[in-house]
Amino acid sequence: MAKKKSSKRLKTSTKPTLKRKKSPKGLGDTVETVLEATGIAKVAKWILGEDCGCDSRKELLNKMFPYQKPNCLNEIEYVYLKGHFESKTTTITPDKQRKMLEIYNRVFNDKKTMTSCSSCFLNNIHKTLEKVYKQY
């Protein structure tokens, strides 16, 4: 009887590996995906060069039309914001700013930090929380 040679072969997968993309932050990411899929992005870079302004337009569209789904305010947060917005105070102490930042980060799944720029706080976080509060 003849012995069979055992052949050990390396198993190679012919399945393509899928790369998991991040979920889009807003309209800018969606537009970018469509332009890349249709080949328009390559044409734009060929005509306009590598710095065609696509990244800045993408960020602007993401900022203007975000896909962000905020969490609901809990009862304690609602009561805190109610006291703040109904008192119509003109000053925000660092303690109030810290508490509102904490609420903002939880509601919007964000990790913003304290800043010494009060106008940045008022224009971004304060106004956004006021909109959320008014929707309740």
**Tens digits of residue pLDDT in 13-58:** 555 555 556 778 888 889 889 988 998 888 888 888 888 888 888 8
pLDDT at residue 90 is higher than 80 = no
The reported pLDDT for the residue numbered 20 is 55
* Averaged pLDDT of the chain: 81
How many other C-beta atoms lie within 10 A of the C-beta of residue 106?
A: 14
- Cβ–Cβ < 8 Å for 71, 38: no
